[in-house]
Structure 1
Amino acid sequence: MDFGEQIKNIRQKEKLTQEQFAMKLNVSRQAVSNWENNKNLPDIGMLILMSDVFQISLDYLIKGENEMNNMTEKVIKDGSETRRAKYNMVCSIIGSFLILIGIILLFVKGLSVEYIDAQGVLHENFFLVPIGFLCVFSGLISFITVGITTIISKFKNRNS
C-alpha cells in the first residue's frame, strides 16, 4: 500500500472528511488531497503530528504494513541529503579555515624581517612559504571536492 492509500484509510477509519482531517492537522484540504493522490508527501514534522493526533506509530505511518512505500523512500532520501549537506558544510568550513591560515602565513612571511647576524647565520622564516601554500592548496582541494560531489549528486537526482 502506498502512502496516499494509507492516509485515506486512516481518514476513513476516523470517519473524517478531507476538510475535517485537514483541520485536525492545521493544513489545507488541498494538502490532504495531494497526499492521498500521491502528488506530494508531508514532511517529518507533519508525520509526527499525524502520529500524535491519530494515535498511530511513526513506524506504521512511514513504513506501512511491512513494505517499502513512497514515504519510506522519501524519509531515507531526506536523511541522506541531510547527511550530505552537513558533510559539505563541514568540508567548506575546513577549506575556508585552511585557506585563511595559508593566506595569513604567507602574509606573515612577507612582513617578516630577514637578517644575517654577527656569526653570519641567516635568520629567515622560510618554513612559512611551503606551509602557507600547503594550507591554501588543501583548502582549494576541499572546495573542489565539495563542488564535484554536489554536481554528481544533482546529476544523479536529475536522472532518477
Structure 2
Amino acid sequence: MEFGERVKAVRTGAGLTQEQFASRLGVTRQAVSNWENGRNLPDIEVVIAMSQTFGVSLDELILGGEGMADKTDEKNDMADKLIRDGSEGRWMRMSLAMSLVGAMLIVVAVVLAVVAENSVSYVDASDMLLEDFWLVPVGYACAAAGMLVLLANFVAQLRRRKRLTGSYRPMGK
C-alpha cells in the first residue's frame, strides 16, 4: 500500500472529509489531496502529528505496518523522503559549519592584520628590536586557511548539486 493510500485509510477510518482531516492537522485540504493522490509527501512533523492525533503508529504510516519493512521489492516513498530529508539536514549543518569556520578564520586574519599595523616596535636598552613579528605570518596563514575552507565548501556544494541534479545549474531552476 502506498503512503497516499495509508493516509486516505486513516482519514476515512476516522470518518473525516479531507477538509476536516486537514483542519485537525493544521494543513490545507489541497495538501491532504496531494498526499492521497501521491503528488506530494508531508514533512515528518505532520506525519508525527497524524500519528498522535489519529492513534496510528509511525511504523504503520511510514513503512505500512508490520512486515512491510521486510518487503524490499516494494517502493516506499515516505521512507525514502525521510532518509533524504535527514541526509539533507546533516549536509546543510556541515556546510554551514564549514562556512562559519572559514569566515571566522578570515575575521581572525583581519584582526591580526589590524593589530600588526597598530603594534609598536621599539629598540630596548640592549639595542634589541622588539616587535610582534609573528602577527603577519599567522594572519596570512589564517586568511589562507579560511579561503581554503570556503573554497572546499563551495566545491563540495557544486559536486553535491551535480550528483543530485546531473548539472551545475542552481537547484530549482
**TM-score, normalised with respect to structure 2:** 0.82
Following superposition, the deviation at residue 99 of structure 1 comes to 0.9
Q: Which amino acid aligns with 1:93?
A: L
Give the corresponding residue for 1:34: 34
User: 1:115 aligned to 101, 115, 122, which one?
Assistant: 122
- C-alpha distance in 2 between matches for 1:120 and 1:20: 88
Aligned-pair CA distance for 1:50: 0.4
Match of 1:150 among 135, 157, 164: 157
Paired residue total: 160
Q: Deviations over 1:97-149 (max 9, x none)?
A: 11111111111111222223332212121111111111111111111122112
| Amino acid paired to 2:28 | S
The alpha carbon displacement at 1:27 in A equals 2.5
Deviation at 1:75, TM superposition (A): 0.8
1:84-95 equivalent positions in 2, closer than 5 A: 84-95=91-102
User: What TM-score, normalized by structure 1, do the two folds share?
Assistant: 0.88
Name whichever structure is richer in helix by fraction.
1
- 1:80 equivalent among 84, 87, 96: 87
User: Structure 1: where are the runs of 5+ without partners?
Assistant: none
Distance 2:165 2:79 in 1: 20
1:129 aligned partner, one-letter code:
V
How far is 1:82 from its partner?
Answer: 0.9
Measure how far apart 1:32 and its partner are: 1.3
Which residue type is aligned with residue 146 of structure 1? N
- Aligned equivalents of 1:22, 1:118: Cα separation in 2: 83
Q: What's 2:171 paired with?
A: none
